[in-house]
């Protein structure tokens, strides 16, 4: 038990070697290079919803038929082993130190660096006050700061309505319940006018939350709204 506690503590300290959380190799980073190469291979994805696609296609049929409010959407990995387990630890088991490793992996994803360079603002998807009290931190904010702290803003996009955990709802329920969940701070409207914005979150499932936030941002004058997530469900 003591060895496990020491190993976990080391993963939260930047710059120190630790045991790989996946294959348990030692010494290593939080996830070793071999596991990243095995479990995080880039794959073709829809440019606007990040669902996997056959090579050579740019958008999925759903996005072609009904374009989402996102101009671009990128995901680092599939929400599956080992990332699903690590993300659960990150969100629900008080391991905020994983944000650094996740952000490094996100930055290494094709097209992410150009997206971040072109962005004027990076906005973490906000949590409701109730969810923030329960969790103690906003995991999306931790990721955003690791990606680019200078461009991170938390005072523009607001969560004004608490909603049930999204995994407990069907797609239609998610889309409906999130219609009025977000708002832009009225005193900060000028900060969004004609800006390029990147929304950041840990996991994208149906996209309902990101789409609702993107609509609000575009209505407030944002010129281009993209999304960047650590993992995408399939």
- Round to whole Å and give the CA distance between 41 and 75: 12
- Bridge partners of residue 108, in order along the sequence: none
153 lies in the same domain as 130: yes
Grouping H, G, I as helix, E, B as strand and the rest as coil, residue 196 is: strand
- Round to whole Å and give the CA distance between 82 and 164: 26
29 lies in the same domain as 60: no
pLDDT of residue 234: 87
Q: What is the CA angle 23-27-33, rounded to 5? A: 55
pLDDT of residue 19: 87
pLDDT of residue 179: 72
pLDDT of residue 24: 92
Using the Cα atoms of residue 183, residue 187, residue 188 and residue 194 in order, give the sign of their dihedral.
positive
pLDDT of residue 98: 95
- Note whether 56 and 75 are within 8 A (CB): no
pLDDT of residue 86: 97
CATH number (domain holding residue 105): 3.40.50
Tens of pLDDT along the chain (234 residues) come to 333 433 343 344 444 567 899 999 988 778 999 999 999 999 999 999 999 999 999 999 999 999 999 999 999 999 999 999 999 999 999 999 999 999 999 999 999 999 999 999 999 999 988 889 989 999 999 999 999 999 999 999 999 886 666 555 565 566 556 777 899 999 999 999 999 999 999 999 999 999 999 999 999 999 999 999 999 998
DSSP 28: B
135 lies in the same domain as 172: yes
191 lies in the same domain as 77: yes
17 lies in the same domain as 54: no
29 lies in the same domain as 54: no
30 lies in the same domain as 68: no
Q: Give me the number of domains the chain comprises.
A: 2
216 lies in the same domain as 142: yes
pTM of the model: 0.88
120 lies in the same domain as 18: no
Count of Cβ atoms closer than 10 Å to residue 113 Cβ? 12
Tell me which residue range forms the domain holding 176.
Answer: 42-232
167 lies in the same domain as 200: yes
Using the Cα atoms of residue 153, residue 157, residue 161 and residue 166 in order, give the sign of their dihedral.
negative
Beta strands in the chain (DSSP E): 72-78, 121-124, 157-159, 182-184, 196-204, 224-232
113 lies in the same domain as 4: no
25 lies in the same domain as 97: no
């Amino acid at each position: 038990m003591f060895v496990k506690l020491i190993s976990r503590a080391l993963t939260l300290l930047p710059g120190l070697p630790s045991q790989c959380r996946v294959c348990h190799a030692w010494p290593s980073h939080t996830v070793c290079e071999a596991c990243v190469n095995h479990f995080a291979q880039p794959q073709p994805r829809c440019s606007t919803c990040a669902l996997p696609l056959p090579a050579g296609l740019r958008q999925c049929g759903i996005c072609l038929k009904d374009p989402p409010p996102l101009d671009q959407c990128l995901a680092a990995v599939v929400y599956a082993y080992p990332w699903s387990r690590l993300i659960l630890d990150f969100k629900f088991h008080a391991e905020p130190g994983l944000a650094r490793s996740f952000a490094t992996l996100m930055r290494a994803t094709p097209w992410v660096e150009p997206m971040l360079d072109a962005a004027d603002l990076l906005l973490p998807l906000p949590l409701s006050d109730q969810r923030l009290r329960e969790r103690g931190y906003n995991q999306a904010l931790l990721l955003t700061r690791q990606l680019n702290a200078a461009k991170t803003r938390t005072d523009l996009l607001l969560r004004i309505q608490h909603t049930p955990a999204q995994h407990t709802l069907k797609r239609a329920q998610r889309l409906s319940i999130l219609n009025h969940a977000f708002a832009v701070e009225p005193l900060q409207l000028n900060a969004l006018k004609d800006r390029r914005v990147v929304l950041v979150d840990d996991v994208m499932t149906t996209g309902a939350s990101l789409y609702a936030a993107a609509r609000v941002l575009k209505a407030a004058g944002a010129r281009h709204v993209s999304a960047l997530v650590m993992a995408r469900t399939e």
